[in-house]
Amino acid sequence: MDQALAGGIAVLDFGGQYAHLICRRIRALGVYSALLPHDTPLGELKRMEVAGVVLSGGPASVYTEGAPKADPHIFEGTLPMLGICYGYQLMVKAHGGEVVRADRREYGRASVKVVDGGGLLDGLGVDRLACWMSHSDSPARIPPSMHVLASSESSPYAAVKLAGSPQFGVQFHPEVSHTEKGQEVLSNFVLGVCRAQKNWSMQSFLRQSVESLSKLDGRVLCAVSGGVDSSVTAALLSRAVGDRLRSVFIDTGLLREGEGEQVRRFLGQELGVNVAIVDATDRFLEGLEGVRDPEEKRKVVGKTFADVFEEFAKDEGPFAYLAQGTLYPDVIESGRSTGPASVIKTHHNVGGLPAGLSMKVVEPLRELYKDEVRELGTLMGLPSTVVEKHPFPGPGLAVRVVGEVTREKLRICRESSRIVERILGEEGLYGKVWQAFAYVGDDKVTGVLGDERKLGYQVTVKVVESVDAMTADWSRLDPRVLERISNAITNEVSEVVAVAYSISSKPPATIEPQ
Ligand code: XMP
């Protein structure tokens, strides 16, 4: 990743919630950008030949003990720099100014008046901008070496420039979409001030990845699930190493409908990926017999997956490499984080590398975000049905069948979910929601069919909207769409007599029922 930063922009991560977003916005300008630890030394930045550096925002106060700091040398030289919010306050402090805690926090929209373009705010075509603010601290006095480019009512030093140096600070957040002309401000900095190289595009990423992956010597094993990340990983490796890639699709019996068939058709036949399909349904379902506790179910699925995978690897091996579809946010969240405030999420994916296998891990997507992976998949010819697919939990339907996992409940859950997806697709809503499925438990409710009363299952439909799955809200679907879903499920899935719609957000509920 370091090498890729030559001519690009390093974003030093001070823990701000928008730190990722800065990278994405810069990449949208065609310039490569990545998050680095907040204390990355100047020498290292120079060795990487970065064109400039952005200091992200962060939740700390610059005078607080233990507050994250930058290498003091980065403020001294001529390295182009843009400090945002906390990053800006660090610059003010480093140059002898003063930062104070404001009486009132300033959150939300503020009108900022541009008094001098200074290279950063040039060519915006307006002299007032609606900018997004989110801070408690702000500079009370800027050093004589800084001069004001813009001010707002609460922030007289809303944007500044350091005299004689390509270093800027802004109190507002140019990276959020609520800031008017924010992308132009970033572009002024990245392309105008830093003269960064515009060599980031999915096409160039694809070319470079295939070139570097083709140098792997030895055989590569990749588990595919039918989801977008593993499908793109396998397609990429297949292009790079051809027959030396062996991918395996383990059918756990807990998957969405048609997953195996899709893998066979799109990865196997159309993209020519060498895929083995292993049907381990019986093994998984036997392991789950009598198990009701959700955590226990996860353990059984994880362990069975690892066993089946290990057997396959041993039978078909040896393999020098294991390819995984790890994405950039996973890298950040799984402890290999850059910043002081990154949340460590428990990763509940099944699999992992079984202890008995020794393979080097290859993660070709580790620099990408989900939307970039989708773009790459499209570029490589994966169909939209694969590329646009909703996320699916590793333990699969085992966490959508509440109580014991039986073949009957699995079928009800699978068929009802397929109906939910089909109708959302027909209504043009599938791509607009985060996840949409149905889940089922054990309790039966009374229904009436013709003149006959009949006990049957009640399924609960969940359709949620989210940006990162950390929080989610239920989708306010039109009652007409809900009615279509309900009717279709009760008509097509004979064991179901009633349909409920979940109106819980996360928190307090989670997206998956278990
Ligand atoms: P929750 O249910 O925690 O889910 O709100 C957040 C997101 O993660 C997915 N999810 C899982 N993914 N293994 C996974 O690989 C799991 O055990 C698991 N549980 C939840 C879920 O589908 C949602 O997108």
What tens digit of pLDDT does each residue of 33-58 get?
A: 999 999 999 999 999 999 999 999 99
DSSP letter at 256 equals P
User: 471 alpha carbon to ligand 1 midpoint, in Å?
Assistant: 12
Residue 29 placed within a domain:
yes
Q: What is the largest CA-CA distance in the chain?
A: 88
In this structure, are 42 and 118 located in the same domain? yes
Query: Confidence band (pLDDT; 50, 70, 90) for 136?
Result: confident
The atom number, within ligand 1, closest to the CA of 434 reads 24
For residue 370 the two structure tokens come to 């989900």
Q: Of these residues, 106, 173, 222, 421, which one is catalytic?
A: 173
In this structure, are 181 and 209 located in the same domain? no
Q: Which residue has the least CA distance to atom 12 on ligand 1?
A: 393
User: 460 alpha carbon to ligand 1 midpoint, in Å?
Assistant: 17
Taking each helix axis from N to C end, the angle separating 202-213 and 370-379, rounded to the nearest 10 degrees, works out to 80
Decide: 167 and 119 in contact? Cβ < 8 Å. no
Q: Which residue has the higher pLDDT, 207 or 450?
A: 207
The atom number, within ligand 1, closest to the CA of 472 reads 5
Q: Is the CB of 395 under 6 A from ligand 1?
A: yes
In this structure, are 86 and 35 located in the same domain? yes
Last residue in a domain, options 139, 159, 193: 193
In this structure, are 289 and 349 located in the same domain? yes
Query: Confidence band (pLDDT; 50, 70, 90) for 341?
Result: very low
pLDDT recorded at residue 448 = 92
Instruction: Indicate the SS3 state at residue 417.
Output: helix
Residue 220 placed within a domain:
yes
Q: Is the CB of 349 under 6 A from ligand 1?
A: yes
Q: Is the CB of 506 under 6 A from ligand 1?
A: yes
Residue to substitute in 348, 417, 439, 462 for testing ligand 1 pocket (most ligand atoms within 8 angstroms of CB): 348
In this structure, are 182 and 48 located in the same domain? yes
**Could you give the number of structural domains in the chain?**
3
In this structure, are 179 and 231 located in the same domain? no
Residue 222 placed within a domain:
yes
User: 393 alpha carbon to ligand 1 midpoint, in Å?
Assistant: 5
Residue 246: closest CA among 229, 232, 263, 234: 234
Torsion of CA 384, 386, 387, 391, to 10 degrees: 130
Sequence-separated (6 or more) residues with CB below 8 Å from residue 505? 471, 472, 473, 474
User: 232 alpha carbon to ligand 1 midpoint, in Å?
Assistant: 20
Residue 508 placed within a domain:
no
Query: How does DSSP assign 64-119, residue by residue?
Result: STT-----GGGGTS---EEEETHHHHHHHHHTT-EEEEEEEEEEEEEEEEES--TT
Output the domain CATH number for residue 165. 3.40.50.880
For 95-128, give one letter per residue: b (16+ CB within 10 A) or e. bebebeeeeeebeeebebebeebbbbbeebeeee
pTM of the predicted structure, to 2 decimals: 0.78
In this structure, are 90 and 166 located in the same domain? yes
pLDDT recorded at residue 171 = 95
Active site residue 175: yes
Residue 450 placed within a domain:
yes
In this structure, are 299 and 329 located in the same domain? yes
pLDDT recorded at residue 1 = 45
Distance CA 237, CA 323 (A): 8
pLDDT recorded at residue 339 = 52
Q: Is the CB of 232 under 6 A from ligand 1?
A: no
pLDDT recorded at residue 343 = 32
Using a pLDDT cut of 70, give the percent of the chain over it. Answer: 94
CA triple 103-106-112, angle to 5 deg? 120
Q: Of these residues, 85, 131, 194, 413, which one is catalytic?
A: 85
Q: Is the CB of 394 under 6 A from ligand 1?
A: yes
Active site residue 85: yes
Torsion of CA 239, 245, 251, 254, to 10 degrees: -60
pLDDT recorded at residue 322 = 93
pLDDT (tens digit, 9 = 90+) per residue, 408-454?
999 999 999 999 999 999 999 999 999 999 999 999 999 998 888 99
Rg of the chain's alpha carbons, rounded to an integer? 26
Q: Of these residues, 106, 175, 180, 495, which one is catalytic?
A: 175
- Partners of 131 in beta bridges: 110
Active site residue 173: yes
Strands 321-323, 435-449: parallel, antiparallel or unpaired by DSSP?
A: unpaired
Last residue in a domain, options 193, 227, 262: 193
Q: Is the CB of 391 under 6 A from ligand 1?
A: yes
pLDDT recorded at residue 18 = 85
pLDDT recorded at residue 348 = 37
**Is a pLDDT exceeding 60 seen at residue 338?**
no
Q: Which residue has the least CA distance to atom 4 on ligand 1?
A: 511
pLDDT recorded at residue 353 = 56
Q: Is the CB of 513 under 6 A from ligand 1?
A: no
Residue 15 placed within a domain:
yes
pLDDT recorded at residue 354 = 61
CB atoms near residue 481 (< 10 Å): 16
Query: Confidence band (pLDDT; 50, 70, 90) for 252?
Result: very high
State the residue range of the domain holding 150.
9-193
Decide: 68 and 15 in contact? Cβ < 8 Å. yes
Output the domain CATH number for residue 488. 3.30.300.10
pLDDT (tens digit, 9 = 90+) per residue, 159-181?
999 999 999 999 999 998 889 99
Decide: 456 and 445 in contact? Cβ < 8 Å. yes
Instruction: Indicate the SS3 state at residue 463.
Output: strand
Q: Is the CB of 17 under 6 A from ligand 1?
A: no
Q: Is the CB of 512 under 6 A from ligand 1?
A: yes
Question: Mean pLDDT, to the nearest integer, of 302-330?
Answer: 91
Residue 513 placed within a domain:
no
Distance CA 512, CA 514 (A): 5
pLDDT (tens digit, 9 = 90+) per residue, 490-510?
999 999 999 999 999 988 999
User: How many angstroms separate the Cα of 358 from the Cα of each of 62, 285, 319, 387?
Assistant: 45, 29, 8, 31
In this structure, are 381 and 437 located in the same domain? no
For residue 305 the two structure tokens come to 């997956």
Sequence-separated (6 or more) residues with CB below 8 Å from residue 86? 14, 16, 55, 56, 57, 58, 59, 60, 62, 135, 137
Output the domain CATH number for residue 364. 3.40.50.620
For residue 56 the two structure tokens come to 């992200």
Residue 173 placed within a domain:
yes
DSSP letter at 5 equals G
In this structure, are 304 and 324 located in the same domain? yes
In this structure, are 459 and 489 located in the same domain? yes
pLDDT recorded at residue 342 = 33
Q: Is the CB of 372 under 6 A from ligand 1?
A: no
Provide the H-helix boundaries in 131-262.
182-187, 202-213, 228-241, 259-262
For residue 247 the two structure tokens come to 């991918």
For residue 238 the two structure tokens come to 């297949």
Last residue in a domain, options 333, 360, 387: 387
| Cis amide prior to 68 (ω within 30 degrees) | no
In this structure, are 284 and 433 located in the same domain? no
